[in-house]
Amino acid sequence: MSERDAIELDVTLALAEAIGSGGITGRQLEGCAGPMAAAQAALEGRRAAGDLAWMDLPGQDVSGLVRFAEERHGRFDNLLVLGIGGSALGTIALGGALLHPYHNLLSKEERGGTPRLFVLDNVDPDQTRGLFDLLDWERTLTNVVSKSGGTAETAAAYLLVRDILEGHVAGKAGPAAIRLPVAEHMVFTTDPEKGVLREIAEEEGIPAFPISAGVGGRFSVLSPVGVLPAALCGMDVAALLAGADAMDRRIRESPGLRNPAGLFAGVQYLEYTAFTRRLSVMMPYSARLRFVADWFKQLWAESLGKARDRRGSDVHVGPTPVEALGATDQHSQVQLYVEGPDDKVVTFLRVGSFDREATMPQLHAEKPALAYLGGHGLGELLNAEQRATAWALARRGRPSIRVDLPRVDAHALGQLLYMLEVATGLMGELLDINAFDQPGVELGKEATYGLMGRTGYEALAREVAGLRKGA
Ligand code: PA5
Of 79, 77, 81, nearest in space to 89 by CA: 81
Q: Are residues 409 and 265 in the same domain?
A: yes
- Contacting residues for 29 by C-beta, under 8 A, at least 6 apart: 15, 257, 266, 270
Q: Is 151 in the pocket of ligand 1 (CB under 6 A)?
A: yes
* Residue positions annotated with a catalytic role: 302, 331, 445
263 falls within a domain: yes
Cα 220 to middle of ligand 1, angstroms: 10
**Is 442 inside a domain boundary?**
no
Q: How far apart are CA 387 and CA 348, in angstroms?
A: 10
Q: Does a structural domain hold residue 441?
A: no
Pocket flag, ligand 1, residue 198 (CB < 6 Å): no
Number of Cβ within a 10 Å radius of residue 441: 17
Last residue of a domain, one of 181, 212, 237: 237
Pocket test of ligand 1: the residue of 54, 81, 84, 145 to mutate, having most ligand atoms within 8 Å of its CB, is 84
- Domain range for 295 is 3-46+239-431
Residues 6+ apart with CB under 8 A from 418: 58, 222, 243, 244, 247, 248
Q: Which atom of ligand 1 is nearest to the CA of 154?
A: 15
Nearest CA, atom 15, ligand 1: 146
Q: Is the peptide bond before 93 cis (omega within 30 degrees of 0)?
A: no
- Say what the pLDDT of residue 471 is: 47
The DSSP call for residue 5 is G
Q: Please tell me the distance from the alpha carbon of residue 133 to that of residue 170, in angstroms, as a whole number.
A: 9
Per-residue pLDDT of the chain (471 residues; tens, 9 = 90+): 776 799 999 999 999 999 999 999 999 999 999 999 999 999 999 999 999 999 999 999 999 999 999 999 999 999 999 999 999 999 999 999 999 999 999 999 999 999 999 999 999 999 999 999 999 999 999 999 999 999 999 999 999 999 999 997 665 555 567 899 999 999 999 999 999 999 999 999 999 999 999 999 999 999 999 999 999 999 999 999 999 999 999 999 999 999 999 999 999 999 999 999 999 999 999 999 999 999 999 999 999 999 999 999 999 999 999 999 999 999 999 999 999 999 999 999 999 999 999 999 999 999 999 999 999 999 999 999 999 999 999 999 999 999 999 999 999 999 999 999 999 999 999 999 999 988 888 888 888 888 888 888 888 888 888 876 544
Based on the fold, state whether residues 95 and 244 are members of the same structural domain: no
H runs (alpha helix) in 20-88: 26-48, 63-71
In a domain, residue 196? The reply is yes
Please check whether residue 344 is in contact with residue 334, taking contact to mean a CB–CB distance below 8 angstroms.
no
Q: Is 86 in the pocket of ligand 1 (CB under 6 A)?
A: yes
The verdict on 382 and 258 lying in the same domain is yes
- Does 42 share its domain with 128? no
Does ligand 1 come within 6 angstroms of the Cβ of 286?
no
The verdict on residue 119 lying in a domain is: yes
Q: What is the CATH number of the domain that holds 101?
A: 3.40.50.10490
Cα(83) to centroid(ligand 1), Å = 8
Rounded Cα distance, 450 and 460, in Å: 6
Task: Give dist(CA 425, CA 14) in Å, integer.
Answer: 21
The residue among 215, 237, 259 that closes a domain is: 237
In this structure, are 243 and 211 located in the same domain? no
Structural domain contains residue 343? yes
Same domain, 345 and 413: yes
451 in a structural domain:
no
Domain count, the chain: 2
301 Cα–ligand 1 center, Å: 13
Is the domain of 186 the same as that of 299?
Answer: no
Task: Tell me the CA–centroid distance for residue 418 and ligand 1, in Å.
Answer: 18
pLDDT of residue 457: 86
Residue 405 domain flag = yes
Residue of 148, 223, 294, 304 with the most ligand 1 atoms within 8 Å of its CB, for mutation: 148
- Out of 237, 253, 271, a domain closes at 237
